[in-house]
């Protein structure tokens, strides 16, 4: 290993041992299963947001075997509110593969892991380094920023292949667990996108950008979020809610939603309109404007539709995957 890179990895390892976020729940008890779930949850989501969802998920499904017994609705229900639901669907698909091909034991080989749905090179590398102590590079946004600043290279000008090469060269062979956790923590807490704390950085004596980082420039021409309008009708009885499974390939695929209002036009006269509200829900790249009508029905009527639907008992609603804004409305009823 390049001596400079070797010193870098040693400094990151020591810094993690002294100042790392050891209290994160997936670091307290390390298993391949727990690392896998945490890494999937942490894709495109901040640590502070993930913590309560991880704790809840692990409480419901503490092991690979327990997860293998869950259906997709139950996994989506445990994920409800965390967003990017494709990740939950990938967990369901992966656990089916693990159950069938690996006897409910999380695979140990890199190529086996990267072949699972929703796992790319960086996530597979993190699992190998953290769960199996087998040194592999990772390359999330934090790591890219740390490496590019350390070498004083413009991140926009670095090719992906070059970044992977550099990341691989810098991985500690002696303590890949502390190094991998350390470089992620370093990017998340010290070498931040704006106003990095160079004075607290363990590698500032070597870093070519230390105390010289240019202020982060926001893209003034950032495109406006796409607005999606949804017209939904939520029907309830004293004991149940009428919900349909969304089988359309969208952000809420396979989640349970109120019917599209048009679909219930022929039935609305049989229900009592309780409320008509507008809900605005912000996602990362789009804004949802939901026009939601809430109705009361004296009985659980049959609906003529090709959609899969159920009258779901109110005391079992937590067993179904619902989007966050719909869960909020139901909880307030």
Lookup result for tokens 């029905």? 297
142-159: b or e for each residue (b if 16 or more CB lie within 10 Å)?
A: bbbbbbbbbbebeeeeee
Strand pairing class (286-296; 226-236): parallel
Q: How far apart are CA 41 and CA 24, in angstroms?
A: 13
Q: Is 304 a catalytic residue?
A: no
Strand pairing class (240-245; 309-313): antiparallel
Q: Which residue, among 147, 326, 129, 130, has the nearest Cα to 243 in the 3D structure?
A: 326
Q: Count Cβ atoms below 10 Å from residue 63 Cβ, excluding itself.
A: 12
Q: Which of 39, 160, 169, 332 is catalytic?
A: 39
Q: How far apart are CA 47 and CA 7, in angstroms?
A: 28
DSSP-assigned letter for residue 188: I
Rg (CA), the chain: 24
- Known catalytic residues are 39
């Amino acid at each position: 290993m390049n001596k400079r890179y070797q010193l870098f990895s040693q400094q990151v390892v020591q810094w993690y041992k002294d100042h790392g976020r050891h209290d994160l729940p997936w670091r307290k008890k390390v298993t391949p299963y727990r690392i896998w779930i945490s890494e999937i949850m942490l894709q495109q989501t901040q640590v502070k947001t993930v913590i309560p969802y991880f704790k809840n998920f692990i409480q419901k499904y503490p092991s690979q075997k327990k997860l293998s017994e869950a259906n997709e609705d139950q996994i989506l229900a445990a994920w409800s509110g965390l967003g990017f639901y494709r990740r939950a669907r990938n967990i369901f698909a992966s656990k089916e593969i693990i159950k069938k091909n690996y006897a409910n034991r999380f695979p140990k080989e890199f190529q086996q892991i990267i072949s699972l749905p929703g796992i790319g090179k960086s996530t597979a590398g993190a699992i190998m380094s953290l769960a199996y102590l087998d040194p592999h590079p990772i390359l999330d946004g934090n790591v890219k920023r740390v490496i590019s600043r350390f070498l004083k290279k413009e991140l926009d000008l670095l090719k992906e292949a070059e970044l992977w090469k550099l990341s691989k060269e810098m991985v500690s062979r002696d303590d890949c667990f502390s190094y991998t956790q350390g470089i992620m923590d370093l990017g998340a807490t010290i070498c931040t996108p704006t106003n990095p704390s160079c004075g607290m950085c363990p590698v500032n004596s070597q870093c070519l950008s230390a105390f010289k980082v240019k202020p982060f420039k926001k893209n003034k021409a950032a495109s406006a979020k796409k607005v999606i309008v949804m017209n939904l009708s939520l029907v309830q009885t004293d004991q149940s809610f009428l919900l349909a499974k969304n089988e359309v390939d969208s952000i809420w695929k396979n989640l349970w939603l109120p019917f599209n209002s048009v679909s219930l036009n022929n039935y609305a006269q049989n229900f009592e309109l309780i409320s008509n509200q507008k809900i605005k829900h912000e996602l990362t790249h789009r804004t949802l404007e939901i026009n939601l009508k809430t109705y009361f029905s004296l009985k659980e009527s049959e609906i003529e539709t090709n959609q899969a639907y159920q009258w779901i008992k109110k005391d079992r609603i937590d067993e179904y995957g619902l989007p966050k804004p719909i869960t909020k409305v139901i909880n307030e009823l």
